[in-house]
């Protein structure tokens, strides 16, 4: 027992002091990168953990360079967890990966406006106070034909604020087939409850007619609402009243129609072999009094919620306290403006990343997939597959794509996916039918070199 104690005491004496490690020249770079206080704290914690292990009977004699190396790893792991990744999954609007990547012009506009001061709420003509909502109004009116517009920080906020401002204390009529839940447990019935209005369900899950709305209207009705089922589809014995039918029903009692189209779009998705997604301009033309949509899905801009429609109703929403609570910042406004300009210049499919991806041809995808295959040392092949839109948009719709498929033993598949995910710039892939797939459709062309380099690096680890 005495011999064990002596050995333990010797090991404890060999553990250097905190100051000795921090003052070692090899720590200078760490101090420059992470700060002396942070480095000192991590060194102290590492030494405390080492002493605890020695006291528990573990032989933990370490060289000084090993200690510094472990400190560096801990410091690196403490840095921001939010980082850029390569999306090779084939899901274009991948909610978990941040939905729509932004165009270069959009990113630059956001950077420019965030670098200094701006006239966010300052009227340059009068020299007095202005409104942040004015910067987008004219552009959205031109693109959609709406009387007025404003944006909030996401479409969930737009729905909540609109209902609270227009319908609080009264009933909102909605089809049972549209009582949807979107990501994160955001349920339309719960939103209605939180906004202070009363849900009035009509029709059935699969069939709702215009007559159902007419029969449900009463003295407490404040609005009729349509919610586009952008993240699911119902097939078979179905019937759904069209927006124009709902508008006609609402007109009999002079009630507004709120149309939550979710993803929304400014160009026709059917030209790419997909089903037609409601256009903001179509909904306004068909008579919706308020149209709500996400700015970060099929529009391809920064996270935001767009509210379009009648000027008098928009004015009421502007005055509601939730509008201030959920208002967007200057970067979001600048970014959405620049994104919308791509549509005005009719360059969405060449400038906005998600539309570049949707419109990509299989020939170019095959060429890029071949480069990925050539970077892999083991068994790999170019193979057909299907990309999806994702992000609660165009449910069930796919696009023919060409992938790089890696053939690996079953016990190496998960390990390889994990290794790609843990690179300095993580590459997110998928496993399908026993192959690891990388879809170039959702990889930005500027990131191809990252995928090629990453595949070479991981291939060397697996096939040394």
Cα 196 to its chain centre, rounded Å, is 28
Residue 59 has what pLDDT?
A: 64
pTM: 0.84
**Model confidence at 387: pLDDT above 90:** yes
- d(C-alpha 330, C-alpha 337), whole Å: 11
Least confident of 163-167, 176-180, 182-186, 253-257: 182-186
Ranges of beta strands (E only) in 389-443 are 398-407, 427-428, 430-432, 435-438
What per-residue confidence (pLDDT) applies to 377?
A: 87
Average pLDDT rounded to a whole number, residues 62-84: 77
Confidence of residue 203 (pLDDT cuts 50, 70, 90): confident
Which tens digit of pLDDT belongs to each residue from 397-425? 899 999 999 999 988 999 999 999 989 89
Using CA atoms, how far apart are residues 312 and 320, in angstroms rounded to an integer? 13
pLDDT of residue 73: 80
Report, as an integer, the average pLDDT of 446-463. Answer: 93
CA distance 103 to 354: 9
pLDDT band per the 50, 70, 90 thresholds, residue 229: confident
- Residue 181: is its pLDDT beyond 80? no
61's CB contacts (< 8 A; 6+ apart) are 11, 14
| Mean pLDDT in residue range 95-105 | 94
Cα dist from 204 to 176, 189, 343, whole Å = 5, 15, 38
Q: Which residue has the higher pLDDT, 13 or 346?
A: 346
Mean pLDDT, residues 157-167: 95
Give the CA distances from residue 372 to residues 280, 445, 459, in Å, rounded to whole numbers and listed in that order: 39, 12, 11
Q: Which ranges constitute the DSSP H helices of 168-269?
A: 188-195, 210-216, 243-251
Average pLDDT, the chain: 89
| CA quadruple 247, 249, 255, 260: dihedral sign | negative
Report pLDDT for 199. 87
- Over range 221-250, report the average pLDDT: 80
Alpha-carbon dihedral 311, 316, 318, 322, rounded to 10 degrees: -150
Is residue 303 predicted with pLDDT exceeding 90? yes
* Residue 374: per-residue pLDDT: 96
Distances (CA, A) of 33 to 45, 142, 331: 19, 49, 28
Token couple for 115: 């670098």
Categorize the per-residue pLDDT at 132 as very low, low, confident or very high, splitting at 50, 70 and 90: very high
Record the tokens describing residue 350, joined without a space.
């060449």
Residue of higher predicted confidence among 132 and 15: 132
Q: What is the pLDDT of residue 184?
A: 57
Residue 259: CB atoms within 10 A of its CB come to 27
Tokens of 151: 């944006």
| pLDDT of amino acid 301 | 97
- 369/59: higher pLDDT: 369
Share of the chain above pLDDT 70, in %: 93
Greatest mean pLDDT among 110-119, 185-194, 455-464 lies in 110-119
Distances (CA, A) of 81 to 15, 141, 424: 31, 39, 12
pLDDT at 222: 96
C-alpha dist (Å) from residue 415 to 213, 435, 458: 55, 13, 10
| Predicted local confidence at residue 104, as pLDDT | 97
């Amino acid at each position: 027992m005495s011999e064990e104690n002596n050995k333990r005491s010797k090991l404890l004496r060999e553990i250097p002091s905190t100051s000795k490690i921090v003052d070692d020249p090899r720590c200078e770079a760490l101090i420059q990168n992470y700060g002396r206080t942070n480095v000192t704290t991590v060194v102290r914690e590492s030494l405390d953990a080492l002493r605890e292990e020695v006291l528990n009977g573990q032989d933990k004699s370490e060289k000084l360079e090993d200690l510094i190396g472990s400190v560096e790893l801990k410091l690196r792991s403490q840095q921001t967890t939010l980082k850029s990744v390569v999306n090779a999954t084939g899901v274009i609007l991948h909610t978990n990966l941040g939905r729509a990547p932004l165009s270069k012009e959009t990113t630059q506009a956001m950077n420019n406006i965030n670098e200094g001061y701006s006239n966010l709420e300052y009227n340059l003509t009068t020299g007095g106070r202005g409104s942040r909502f004015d910067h987008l109004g004219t552009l959205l009116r031109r693109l959609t034909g709406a009387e007025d517009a404003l944006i909030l920080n996401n479409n969930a906020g737009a729905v909540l604020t609109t209902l609270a401002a227009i319908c609080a204390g009264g009933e909102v009529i909605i089809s049972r087939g549209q009582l949807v839940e979107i990501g994160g447990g955001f349920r339309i019935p719960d939103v209605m409850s939180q906004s202070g209005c009363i849900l009035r369900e009509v029709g059935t899950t699969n069939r709702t007619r215009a007559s159902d709305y007419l029969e449900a209207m009463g003295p407490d009705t404040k609005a009729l609402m349509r919610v586009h089922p952008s993240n699911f589809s119902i097939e078979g014995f179905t019937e759904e009243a069209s927006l124009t039918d709902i508008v006609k029903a609402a007109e009999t009692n002079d009630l507004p129609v709120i149309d939550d189209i979710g993803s929304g779009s400014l160009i026709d998705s059917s030209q790419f072999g997909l089903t037609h997604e409601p256009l903001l301009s179509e909904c306004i033309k068909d008579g919706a009094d308020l149209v709500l949509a996400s700015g970060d899905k099929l529009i391809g801009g920064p996270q935001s919620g767009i509210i379009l429609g009648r000027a008098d109703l928009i004015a009421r929403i502007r005055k509601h306290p939730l509008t201030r609570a959920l208002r967007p910042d200057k970067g979001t406004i600048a970014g959405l403006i620049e994104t919308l300009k791509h549509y005005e210049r009719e360059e969405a499919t060449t400038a906005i990343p998600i539309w570049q991806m949707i419109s990509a041809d299989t020939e170019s995808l095959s060429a890029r997939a071949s480069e990925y295959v050539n970077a892999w040392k083991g068994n790999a092949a170019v193979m057909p597959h299907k990309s999806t839109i994702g992000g609660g948009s165009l449910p069930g719709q796919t696009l023919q794509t060409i992938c790089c498929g890696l053939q690996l033993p079953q016990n190496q598949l998960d390990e390889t996916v994990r290794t790609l995910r843990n690179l300095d710039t993580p590459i997110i892939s998928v496993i399908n039918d026993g192959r690891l797939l990388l879809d170039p459709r959702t990889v930005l062309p500027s990131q191809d070199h990252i995928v090629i380099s990453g595949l070479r690096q991981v291939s060397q680890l697996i096939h040394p």
